[in-house]
């Protein structure tokens, strides 16, 4: 079996999707999503869940498969499965080094985005597509 990368991200969009197009023709090349993923832990003293850190992912969906994603809006919950994970280092305006996390997906590759609009009740199909996210304060049984 060849080596492969795969990432699954769940979060609310941090911005409206951005259309990536060819300058000369305006042809759609892909869509860029911004997905923040927060890491939490349970405080042993207070028994409350608290935020530890947030990673901001840039998800690039290349090809016509990204076209329906342009209808999404900031704040909508998405689940993304993608391959080809990258970490790009860059220098910020203040001169400090930063890291941009990217998950890249191509048509025909490992690329799947599910979403649920905030103003709609989840359908049975949406519930099957979206994995069960633990309720606030619910213990997570991890097998390792």
Q: Computed from CA positions of residues 36, 42, 43, 48, in that sequence, does the dihedral angle turn out positive or negative? A: positive
Of residues 56, 55, 54, 53, the one with CA closest to residue 32? 56
**Domain map (residue ranges) of the chain:** 11-41+49-129
pLDDT of residue 131: 43
* Strand ranges inside 24-76, DSSP E: 28-42, 49-62
Q: Please report, to the nearest 10 degrees, the dihedral formed by the alpha carbons of residues 42, 127, 30, 14 taken in order.
A: -40
pTM greater than 0.75 (yes/no): no
Cα torsion 29, 8, 116, 76: sign: negative
Task: Check if CATH label 2.40.50.140 holds for domain 11-41+49-129.
Answer: yes
Q: What is the pLDDT of residue 19?
A: 92
HSE value, Cβ hemisphere, 13 Å, CA-based, for 9: 32
Residue 67 contacts residue 30 (beta carbons within 8 Å): no
pLDDT tens digits for the chain (144 residues)? Answer: 566 677 788 888 999 999 999 989 988 888 999 989 888 888 899 999 888 888 888 988 888 878 888 888 898 888 888 777 888 888 889 999 888 888 887 644 434 566 555 555 544 444 444 444 444 455 544 443
Half-sphere exposure of residue 48: CA atoms within 13 angstroms, side-chain side: 4
Please tell me whether residue 12 adopts helix, strand or coil conformation: strand
């Amino acid at each position: 079996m060849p080596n492969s990368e795969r990432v699954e991200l769940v979060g609310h969009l941090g911005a409206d999707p951005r259309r990536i197009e060819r300058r000369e023709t305006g042809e759609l090349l892909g869509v860029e999503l911004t997905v923040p993923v927060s890491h939490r832990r349970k405080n042993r003293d207070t028994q409350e869940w608290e935020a530890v850190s947030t990673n901001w992912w840039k998800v690039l969906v290349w090809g016509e498969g990204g076209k329906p994603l342009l209808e999404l809006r900031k704040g909508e919950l998405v689940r993304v499965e993608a391959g080809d994970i990258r970490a790009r280092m860059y220098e910020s305006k203040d001169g400090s080094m930063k890291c941009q996390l990217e998950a890249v997906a191509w048509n025909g590759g490992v690329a799947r985005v599910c979403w649920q609009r905030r103003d709609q009740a989840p359908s049975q199909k949406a519930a099957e597509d979206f994995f069960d996210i633990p309720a606030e304060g619910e213990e997570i049984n991890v097998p390792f």
